[in-house]
Amino acid sequence: MSHFAKVENGIVTKVIVAEQDFIDSGVVGEGWIQTSYNTRGGVHYGPDAQPDGGVALRKNYAGIGFIYDAQRDAFIPPKPFPSWTLNESTCLWDSPTPVPMNGKIYTWNEASQDWVETQ
């Protein structure tokens, strides 16, 4: 079984688990593109959540509201904030400044363009 995303006007509207033959039969209509549950940021991950060297499919696992960019052959999540930029190699969004890596939890503050520690 594989995962497939229904893409309408470049936007993912549904994700299902199905056999390739079912998709090819046309029963569910056109516009289905295979996606990999194990792919994130252009890397394939194994059951232990570690990169395993497998084939990464379309940069990211598709989700409802994601954009399918046919030119990049990639699923791109919705842009979280206006200031964030698309990372071309991962097709994920990068914040203007990296999140602090000190074991604390942070949220992005768009007004101050900085990470704020969550209490």
Centroid of chain to Cα 114: 23
Q: Which residues of 66-93 are buried (b: 16+ CB within 10 A; e: fewer)?
A: bbbeeeeebbbbeeeeeeeebeeebbbb
Q: Please report, as a single letter, which amino acid is at residue 67.
A: I
One domain for residues 85 and 73: no
One domain for residues 83 and 47: no
**How many structural domains does the chain have?**
2
One domain for residues 27 and 73: yes
One domain for residues 17 and 74: yes
Mind listing the pLDDT tens digit of every residue in the chain (119 residues)? Answer: 899 999 999 999 999 999 999 999 998 999 999 999 999 999 999 999 999 999 999 999 999 999 999 999 999 999 999 999 999 999 999 999 999 999 999 999 999 999 999 97
One domain for residues 52 and 108: no
One domain for residues 37 and 61: yes
Query: pTM value?
Result: 0.90
Q: Give the domain range for residue 57.
A: 1-78
